[in-house]
Chain A
Amino acid sequence: MKRSIVCRCEDISEEDVIQAIDEGYTDIEELRKKLRIGMGPCQGRVCIQLVARILERKTGKKVAKIQLPTVRPPLVPVSLGTLASENDEK
């Protein structure tokens, strides 16, 4: 079966997104929590715009009107060791 990958981090395809939208998950945050899109190492840089496009196609809501998920620090993966060494423990 042909699969177009939308989210590489979590291995989510266009078909998976369409199915979730058909099930009633029409909010990008709900799709995120349902499918884990945007939760991997890329933090949504690969998938979110694609998902917004699919949402526009399925619901008619313009990409510009679709509210994107909250941006969550630290934006790029940072090791716990690096974060821990920032300050010496008092």
Chain B
Amino acid sequence: MRTMKSKVDVVIIGGGVNGCSLAYRLAKKGLDVVVVEKRYLSSGATGACGAGIRQQWSTRENAQLAIQSVKIFERLSKELGQDIEFRQGGYLIAIHDEKEMKQAEKNVAMQRSLGLKVEILKPEEITRIVPILDVKGMRAIGATFCPTDGHANPFRTTFAYADAARKHGAEINTHTTVINVKTAKKAIRAVVTDQGTIQTDVVVNAAGIDSKTIAEMVKVKLPLSPFRKEIMATERLQPLFEAMVISFKDGIYFSQQKEGQIVGGIPIPEEKGGYKTMPTFAFLSHMAQTLTRYGPVLKHVNVLRHWTGFYDVTPDARPILGEVREVKGFIQCSGFSGHGFMISPMVSFLLTELIVEQKTSEDLQSLNLDRFKGKNIEKELSVVG
């Protein structure tokens, strides 16, 4: 067994981008923090994600979280002292029919009211942004475009947060599995791992799809379902375009990353929820057909690899954040439904306010587990992949 701290202020379960960014913010405020991660840093959804950072959402809350997150991303490389490869090439969202156009107009009006720079493009303007697209092939009647959307390197971001957290005194234990979470009088007492027990009053559950299992240890039920997603990456190419291209109707998204590779995904045909992990040929075939329909010139480009990751999906496709009513000190940080990376800056900011100052902002309140007890939940519509 390794030596681990045996008594701390906060134990964070999960070494993804959200766990590591929260560890950094809490340690910076002077709290004694330990992160426990079953495998290696970014080994779950963070490391498998599409790297996109988008502010164009259908619900006001998500749009706001994303806009504020981008402001933090813009200065994050400087703050952490490492390049996280943040790049703002914009997001181009294809519109295929009148129904989508109506929703897009509604979304853009709401997003603009929050101060976001976003426009609706005519079909002929699409290739001005992404020259390789075939507007007819993609069957688009328009698109929305926000130039300040973009992407960053999820591994580098997670590692940079972890390094900065360690500098502020946080302890990060990889290859450490949580066996049990102990409570007494409806409050958190300790986390038992295969490397030893850590006494604490606060546990943050940031374990991705395994958050459900962690919550069950303290008899809390989370409405989380795992959804397998696949992504592929091509060989490196000269810079062709900067924007992320997405379509809600086709489910496709793709962008060209800093190193030159095109990375993208699409829902797997006839895919059902579950935990199986092997990549499928059905995905590769469907992705290749759709991608070459959007950008015919890409047919000459080689695919190098594709991989599987999981969305931890909630009934309204919005995360579960904050303390649960049933157990004092048990804080949720999961259910990101495919957008955990892009809103991680604000998630750690809000949870730091909660843990350090006991402050519950309006945003945090609206994302509490309690919302699923009410009848009227507003579902996020702008989900892709």
A positions within 8 Å CB-CB of B: 23, 25, 27, 29-30, 33-34, 36, 39-41, 43, 70, 72-74, 77-84, 86-87, 89
Contacts and interface: CB of A to CB of B under 8 A. Distances in A.
B306 A73 contact: yes
B289 interface: yes
A27 B174 contact: yes
A84 B288 CA distance: 5
Contacts of A73: 279, 281, 284, 305-306
Given A27-B174, A33-B47, A74-B306, A83 B285 contact: yes
Given A41-B235, A80-B292, A81-B299, A72 B307 contact: yes
Contacts of A87: 285, 289
B305 A83 contact: no
B183 interface: no
Nearest to A35: B155
Given A40-B235, A77-B302, A79-B299, 10 more contacts: A33-B42, A33-B159, A34-B159, A72-B306, A79-B301, A80-B234, A80-B300, A84-B288, A84-B289, A84-B291
A27 B175 CA distance: 10
How many B residues are at the interface, by size bracket?
35 or more
24 contacts: A27-B40, A27-B174, A30-B41, A30-B42, A33-B47, A34-B159, A39-B304, A41-B235, A41-B304, A70-B307, A73-B281, A73-B306, A74-B303, A77-B235, A79-B299, A79-B301, A80-B302, A81-B288, A81-B300, A83-B287, A84-B285, A84-B288, A84-B289, A89-B289
Query: Which among A73, A78, A79, A82 has the greatest number of chain B C-beta atoms within 10 A?
Result: A73
Contact of B155 (A33, A43, A89): A33
A36 B259 CA distance: 10
Given A39-B305, A72-B306, A77-B304, A83 B288 contact: yes
B41 A77 contact: no
A80 B288 contact: yes
A77 B236 CA distance: 12
Contacts of A86: 281, 285, 288
Contacts, number: 89
Q: Chain A contact residues: over half helix, strand or loop, or mixed?
A: loop
A80 B291 contact: yes
B20 to A, nearest CB: 13
A29 B43 CA distance: 8
B297 to A, nearest CB: 10
Contact of B302 (A30, A79, A89): A79
Nearest to A79: B302
Contacts of B40: 27, 29-30
Interface string B129-169: 00000000000000000000000000110010001000000
A12 to B, nearest CB: 12
Per CB-CB distance, the 10 closest pairs between chain A and chain B, nearest first, are A81-B299, A83-B288, A77-B302, A33-B155, A72-B305, A84-B288, A27-B40, A84-B289, A80-B288, A84-B292
A53 to B, nearest CB: 20
Nearest to A74: B303
Contact of A79 (B39, B47, B300): B300
B201 to A, nearest CB: 29
Contacts of A30: 40-42, 159
Contact of A83 (B47, B163, B303): B303
A72 B279 contact: yes
B233 interface: yes
Given A72-B279, A84-B288, A34 B155 contact: yes
Given A29-B43, A33-B155, A36-B259, A79 B174 contact: no
A87 to B, nearest CB: 6
Query: Which among B285, B287, B300, B307 has the greatest number of chain A C-beta atoms within 10 A?
Result: B285
Given A27-B40, A39-B233, A80 B303 contact: yes
B298 interface: yes
